[in-house]
Amino acid sequence: MDFKQNYFELFQLPIAYQVDSHRLNDAYRELQTQIHPDRYAQGSEAEKLSSVQASSFVNEAYQTLKSSVSRARYLVELAGVAIDLSATTIADGAFLMQQMELREELEDASHSADPEKLLEKIAQQVHDNLADLVRSFSALSEPWDFNDLNVESVGQGAQLVYQMKFLEKLSIEIENIEQSLLD
């Protein structure tokens, strides 16, 4: 297996944000059938190791392309823009203000008369905002030609990825709070 190929090539998919999930799933199952470590249980140590590495590579590629946020990040990185979530701030002031308001609501949820209802409302807002960002990234990245990329467009894509990751993290926090309320 060529570990230098990109994830789209691995699954024989076009390099694009919109991915045919059926083709992705079928290609993933086919590759796992060919390389799964169980097939090499009786093989040499080198074959076993190679199978584990290939299976890990395929799993990572699949998880990346399956997630709309991870796929956006991967496309931006394929375009040559590194995404460092720990170091970069979001430039969109309106987005940050909206997120601060959502976080304040989230903090108030545990003191609310009906915390589940408030959490559901916040989760829906986060979901809707994330869906808007996904649509924006899709429209922005659709014309990308990876042989001749527009640097400004890729930079805008990176900003959308930062916003998507922010919302994804907020969504996980909401789920954790909901779970703690059930415990």
Judge whether residue 119 has pLDDT over 80.
Answer: yes
What is the total count of domains within the chain? 2
For residues 112 and 173, membership in a common domain is answered with yes
Tell me how many degrees the CA angle 154-159-160 measures, rounded to the nearest 5.
95
For residues 109 and 35, membership in a common domain is answered with no
For residues 137 and 172, membership in a common domain is answered with yes
For residues 108 and 174, membership in a common domain is answered with yes
Looking up residue 58, the CATH number of its domain turns out to be 1.10.287.110
The answer to whether position 98 is within a domain reads yes
- Residue holding tokens 């086919």? 30
For residues 38 and 101, membership in a common domain is answered with no
Confidence (pTM): 0.85
Q: How far apart are CA 88 and CA 35, in angstroms?
A: 38
Average pLDDT over residues 136-150: 90
- The average confidence (pLDDT) of the chain is 90
Looking up residue 148, the CATH number of its domain turns out to be 1.20.1280
Treating both helix axes as pointing N-terminal to C-terminal, what angle do 151-182 and 68-78 enclose, rounded to 10 degrees? 150
Instruction: Read off φ and ψ for residue 13, nearest 5 degrees.
Output: -115, 150
The answer to whether position 80 is within a domain reads no
Q: Among 66, 81, 108, where does a domain finish? A: 66
The type of residue at 5 is Q
176's tokens: 């954790």
Judge whether residue 70 has pLDDT over 90.
Answer: yes
Residues whose CB falls within 8 Å of the CB of residue 139, separated by 6 or more in sequence, listed in order: none
132's tokens: 């808007």
Judge whether residue 143 has pLDDT over 70.
Answer: yes
Residue-range definition of the domain harbouring residue 24: 7-66
For residues 100 and 169, membership in a common domain is answered with yes
Residues whose CB falls within 8 Å of the CB of residue 161, separated by 6 or more in sequence, listed in order: 69, 72, 73, 76, 83, 137
Average pLDDT over residues 20-45: 89
CB 122 within 8 A of CB 109: yes
Average pLDDT over residues 129-150: 92
For residues 110 and 173, membership in a common domain is answered with yes
Going by the DSSP 8-state scheme, the letter that residue 89 receives in this structure is P
> What confidence score (pLDDT) does residue 131 get?
96
- Residue holding tokens 């040499």? 44
In percent, how much of the chain has pLDDT > 70? 98
